[in-house]
Amino acid sequence: MLTTDQCYQAVAGRDRRFDGMFFTAVRSTGIFCRPSCPARTPLRKNVDFYQTAAAATEAGFRACKRCRPDASPNSPEWDTRADVTARAMRLIQDGLVDRAGISGLASALGYSPRQLGRVLQSELGVGPLAIARTERIRTARTLVESTTLSMSEVAFAAGFSSIRQFNDTFRAVYSSTPRDLRNNAGARHGTQSITVRLAYRAPLDHTHLFRYLAVRAIPGVEDVTGDHYTRSLRLAHGPAVLTLAPGAGDYIECHLRLADSRDLGSAVARARRILDLDADPLAVRATLEEAGLSELIDRYPGIRSPGTGDPVELAIRTILGQQISVIAAQTHLKRLVSAHGQSLPEELRVGTVDRVFPTAAEIAEIPEEHWSLPRRRIDTLRVLSAHLADGSIDLGPGCDRTEVNDSLLAIPGIGPWSLGYIRMRALGDPDVLLSSDLGVKKAIDELNGPGTDMTDWAQQLERVRPWRSYVTHLMWAHHARPQASPAVPPATQSHRPTGTDAESPTDTPTDTATHSTANRKRRRQ
């Protein structure tokens, strides 16, 4: 946590890097702002700092109409940390409190409601209900400004229990009525089409990010070009389709088609995870520079560690793609989605995205003859799907990463590479180094010369904690760059089985050390 002096320095410098990490409350005006608010810098004696917008609101401050602190990026701390506070914040942002209440949130974390309240109150100065209320009001404001829903429909879709509570919260937070905000919102969209601007901390290398996602796109579920990413989602109240595209300034335009507007908050949270929009790229850069990797980070400024919109999908595709190329994995995934994916209603479809990835329960019941895979890999898929379906393994935003780690390793056929890839993309772990990955090894050889001692390299990268996932992506980007192998076209090079979606040669379904080329050919036959 920053000191109050550091916070005030950020406010005095209007430093956008700290937007969302803390909030500035000015006692003389009763307003709280982002650190980068363009208004005149308040006197130090009049300023308090809060770690969350909910805490500032509970203290009696209202949101600044000029800088919109409610639209700040989320703090990267909640993705970096794995303790109960961070897990609770991720679940609240995903809308669990609106679906299951405080008792459901506490149960998901293994705490009693009273214990959880004490933990959050002691660290954040506010309880889980107040944090959830802040998320609700953000969702409500988006619905007010972006749709033609009636105010009663907005209130209940955002999770409020009554119109009175909805109106009172609006006045307390924004010093304005919902009707006033709608009248000032400008152009609006229909119920099924909602547009949200997602703020991020610059820089953001969206070109590389979309290229990475395009290579791995599942036909029917995802559609990616150089300027947009579209995919279907399975949400609590029905399916949805989102489209992400670069917008003006430090924003990503998120276009949503929802079967039920109650899922707006959860859809936005997933969109942010997909593009890693809550990351702090300057903090990552500073750490990598200290570890001697300034030249590498200079080549790819703003690189992100992309997540996923469906952790079950990511886990299944990781196992399915072991020891085969990305193209071959896509063929299997396309067959799986075509045969077992849920068809989207016409009004939700966008371009070629017309299906939702099947559930874990559906995959667990698929007959063996459907799979053109080795028997052991089919067994791994079935066991993993069964555990995901019955909840014994939870890959959701509030999961305990250590517990998931042990549970996945206990499944035959899941080794260190698969585990690391699932942790990095499905669980959003920012500190995963896939040192056994073939693409990472080749990139290290290109940077340091053939025969680099991986042990020494791994020890050097200990200084990069907790950002080693970004090092992994930097290595992949370096190895896949067009000039790395002029004889091979970039698209072909990206589809080689480098270990990014094909299992590393050191981590096979039987977790043995090596396999010969002949053995791999026999398995494919």
Residue 519: the pLDDT is: 39
Residue 501: the pLDDT is: 39
Q: What number of other Cβ atoms are within 10 A of residue 68's Cβ? A: 16
Q: Which pTM value belongs to this model?
A: 0.85
For residue range 4-45, what is the model confidence (pLDDT) as tens digits? 999 999 999 998 889 999 999 999 999 999 999 999 999 999
Q: Given a cut of 50, is residue 326 above it in pLDDT?
A: yes
Q: What angle (nearest 5°) sits at the alpha carbon of residue 218, between those of residues 514 and 472?
A: 50
* Low-confidence winner among 70-79, 123-132, 281-290, 352-361 (lowest mean pLDDT): 70-79
Contact 130, 91 (CB under 8 A): no
Please state, in angstroms and as integers, the Cα–Cα distance from residue 200 to each residue in 134, 166, 508, following that order: 19, 28, 38
Residue 57: the pLDDT is: 92
User: Where exactly does CATH 3.30.310.20 map onto the chain?
Assistant: 193-299
CATH superfamily of 77-146+149-183: Homeodomain-like (1.10.10.60)
Q: Given a cut of 80, is residue 115 above it in pLDDT?
A: yes
Of the candidates 94, 98, 23, which has an alpha carbon nearest to the alpha carbon of residue 63? 23
Residue type, 468: R
- Give the pLDDT mean for 142-151: 84
- Give the pLDDT mean for 433-459: 80
The whole-chain average pLDDT of the chain stands at 87
**Domain 4-57 carries which CATH code?**
3.40.10.10
Residue 185: the pLDDT is: 59
Contact 261, 249 (CB under 8 A): no
Residue with the larger pLDDT of the pair 142 and 346: 346
Hey, CA dihedral for 186, 258, 34, 252, is it positive or negative? negative
* Low-confidence winner among 94-108, 149-163, 273-287 (lowest mean pLDDT): 149-163
Residue 497: the pLDDT is: 38
User: Where exactly does CATH 3.40.10.10 map onto the chain?
Assistant: 4-57
As a whole number of Å, the CA-based R_g of the chain is 23
Residue 451: the pLDDT is: 66
pLDDT tier at 495, thresholds 50, 70, 90: very low
- Give the pLDDT mean for 478-487: 62
Residue 146: the pLDDT is: 78
Q: Write out the DSSP string of 457-522.
A: HHHHHGGGTT-HHHHHHHHHHHHHSGGG-TTS-HHHHHTS-SSSSS--TTS-TT--S---HHHHHH
Of the candidates 174, 199, 187, which has an alpha carbon nearest to the alpha carbon of residue 147? 187
- CA atoms in the 13 A half-sphere facing the CB of 183: 5
Residues with Cβ within 8 Å of 149's Cβ and at least 6 positions away in sequence, in order, are 143, 157, 191, 261
pLDDT tier at 518, thresholds 50, 70, 90: very low
Residue 487: the pLDDT is: 38
Residue 179: the pLDDT is: 86
Residues annotated as catalytic are 33, 437
Residue 452: the pLDDT is: 64
pLDDT tier at 394, thresholds 50, 70, 90: very high
Residue 190: the pLDDT is: 42
Which contacts (CB < 8 Å, 24+ apart) does range 441-448 have? Answer: 442/479, 442/498, 443/475, 443/476, 443/478, 443/479, 444/475, 446/478, 446/479, 446/484, 447/296, 447/478
Q: Given a cut of 50, is residue 498 above it in pLDDT?
A: no
Residue 477: the pLDDT is: 92
pLDDT tier at 392, thresholds 50, 70, 90: very high
User: Where exactly does CATH 1.10.340.30 map onto the chain?
Assistant: 311-518
**Domain 193-299 carries which CATH code?**
3.30.310.20
Q: Given a cut of 50, is residue 491 above it in pLDDT?
A: no
**Domain 311-518 carries which CATH code?**
1.10.340.30
User: Where exactly does CATH 1.10.10.60 map onto the chain?
Assistant: 77-146+149-183
